[in-house]
Structure 1
Amino acid sequence: MRLGNATSSGSRGVSRSWKQRVLGLTAAALVLPVSAGIAGGVATASPIHGAPVLSAPSGGFEELIVPSGMGPIKVQVQWAARGGNAALYLLDGLRARNDRNAWSFETNALQQFAGDNVTLVMPVGGQSSFYSDWYAPSNFNGQKTTYKWETFLTKELPAFLANYGVSPTNNAIAGLSMGGSAALTLAAYHRDQFKAAAAYSGYLNISAPGMREAIRIAMLDAGRFNVDSMWGPPWSPNWLRNDPFVFAPKLKGLPLYISAASGLPGPYDRPTSALGVYNTANGMALEALALVNTRAFQIRLATLGVPARFEFPAAGTHSWKYWEAELFKSRDMFLDVLNAR
């Protein structure tokens, strides 16, 4: 399964046994394998650039190797068409690969922004990381280093890109599923860096009943990562720090685009095999869970008086072509906020 990288409130009268069955189905959906061939490949080498060029190259695609406390990190970039200083960070899902960011090949994101004066920044790696700073390496899978993705994305990477004329403060951020939750987290706590944020099919109510357990199971399935190494045990305050439902007041004044589809099969769901049917069913369950989270988050923002644009397509599963369409619908917001047309 991909908690965000697929093919890639009920009444008080509900019985206890029904609730248990729903929780069981949710956890099962989060751990089902989504497709063949989703394991990350080995990162290919790219040269580390030497002397800064002082201004961003005009257009073109490049793979950078960026130094970090986690070791060298590959970052795919499509430079702003006319050398502008704006950047849009695109975050991957739970099963982020080690060779490419899926936005670069599962969608037409590069083509969508090819003529725009904004640099697309697509970090590679971070499977099951939630793009967070972890407490320790995962002790279940022999991880050698401690994930420090928040530090990388908000300090090390913007400082590196500044050598190429990309502003550390004229940025926006978007992501799907795991990356959608993370995009809102990073934008909320780093308002000096990010001027807008989007979450597509994100899990935005992490403290809801069953969600912490589901995330634990999903991360075990996606690389045998121990969630306690990330945010600590379920009672740790770091869970609340990373829950969009909890930190929602910090988003006030930030342009937001939030979406989740119904989970019903749509135009991009055309399974032609038993595996395809299985994957579609899994994508339906994952998107339905994202929809419940997103509807709760919508009510939360409305209660706080925090404006946001919400989109709820009538059809669509947890898969890339639907996120491609949502990226396009949020494109104008990014270009306007970043002055990147």
Structure 2
Amino acid sequence: MALIQCQFYSEVLGLSTSMNVILPQATRSQIGLEGKQGTGPHPALYLLHGLSDDDSTWLRRTSIERYVASLGLAVVMPQVHRSFYTNMEQGAAYWTFISEELPALARSFFPLSDKREDNFVAGLSMGGYGAFKLALQHPERFAAAASLSGVMDLHASRTDPMQNAMSPAEWLNIFGPDEIRGTDHDLLELLQRHAALGTSLPRLYQCCGTEDFLYKGNQAFRETCNTIGVPLTYEEGPGAHEWGYWDAKIQDVLAWLPLKEH
């Protein structure tokens, strides 16, 4: 695998930012690792970080580089700080960055496919929210999306902002004072809209540990899917909001992705 650390200027954010990218590399000479590289543009997984993390965290706390070596899959890991993948009320336009600018820049830097069937998004915690927000706001762009212990019911989280991980002032800086329920920030609302329209959605995978403080919100998302008939692969079991759980579950996500031969 080729691991590339990128520093670049974002016109949308008006500042320099970063991303880490894993690119497929065909090799048999690395001990204990056999890489795979298909022909043509690579399928890509956009892998999103959580509230307290950055673009390096998946590399530092899991073996994601080793897990994808045999898949011929590129992995793009961007930096969005504590923005909740949102155009912030008091801050930068991180939603426009992640949904519009980043994919275009990544494809200009690297040979990544722009086909829907080759694009996937996943994330943990805040990144799980971001992954499903991307999939539900732009279902035409992604074949599959996965949330690991994601913030699935943002409205409910507002009354107890991320177990004190966010202060009320920080919440207001991101989302402002207005109601979350029924807006484009609300994943449950986005589900309802698509159900009414009969939209063809990406495949959705959701998991959460039963000891996780976000477990109730994950149940609410699953129940909404069941009620309105949105297909969802859902897994739960023992686990808290921690990296041992996510390191194990990202392997399940990779096995679940509908990858095609290239």
**Alignment TM-score, normalising by the size of structure 1:** 0.65
Match of 2:42 in 1: 85
**C-alpha distance in structure 2 between counterparts of 1:340 and 1:63, whole Å:** 27
Identify the residue that residue 89 of structure 2 maps to in structure 1.
135
Are residues 1:297 and 2:231 paired? no
The percentage of counterpart residues that share the same residue type is 28
Q: 1:252 to 1:312 in 2, by over 3 A?
A: farther
Match of 2:154 in 1: 206
Structure 1 residues 21-55: Cα deviation after superposition (integer angstroms, max 9, x where no partner): xxxxxxxxxxxxxxxxxxxxxxxxxxxxxxxxxxx
| Aligned residues between the structures | 238
User: Matches of 1:340 and 1:212 in 2, distance apart?
Assistant: 43
Q: Distance in 2 between matches of 1:236 and 1:245?
A: 11
Q: CA deviation at 1:65?
A: 1.8
CA distance in 2: counterparts of 1:80 and 1:105, whole angstroms: 19
Contact 2:155/2:180 (CA < 8 Å) preserved in 1? no
Match of 1:226 among 166, 170, 173: 170
Q: 1:309 aligns with which of 199, 216, 233?
A: 233
Q: 1:104 aligns with which of 53, 59, 63?
A: 59
Which residue of structure 1 lines up, in the alignment, with residue 95 of structure 2? 150
Counterpart Cα distance in 2 of 1:189 and 1:235 = 19
* CA displacement, residues 50-90 of structure 1 (integer Å, 9 cap, x when unaligned): xxxxxxxxx31111123212212111000034154211011
Which residue pairs with 2:125 in the alignment?
Answer: 177
Match of 1:73 among 8, 11, 17: 17
Quote the Cα distance in structure 1 between the aligned partners of 2:180 and 2:153. 16
Aligned to 2:185: 242
Q: Contact conserved, 2:48 with 2:78, CA < 8 A, in 1?
A: yes
* Counterpart-to-counterpart distance in 2, 1:316 and 1:340: 34
The alpha-carbon deviation at position 229 of structure 1 amounts to 2.6
Structure 2: distance between partners of 1:319 and 1:155: 30
Instruction: Give the 3-state SS of the residue equivalent to 1:104 in structure 2.
Output: helix
Compare relative contact order (CA 8 Å, sep 6+) and give the higher one, 1 or 2.
1
Amino acid at match of 2:254: R
Q: Deviations over 1:163-185 (max 9, x none)?
A: 22212343111111111111100
Structure 2 Cα separation of the partners of residues 72 and 167 of structure 1? 25
Q: Is 1:339 the equivalent of 2:223?
A: no
Amino acid at match of 1:101: S
TM-score, with length taken from structure 2: 0.83
Matched residue, 1:35 = none
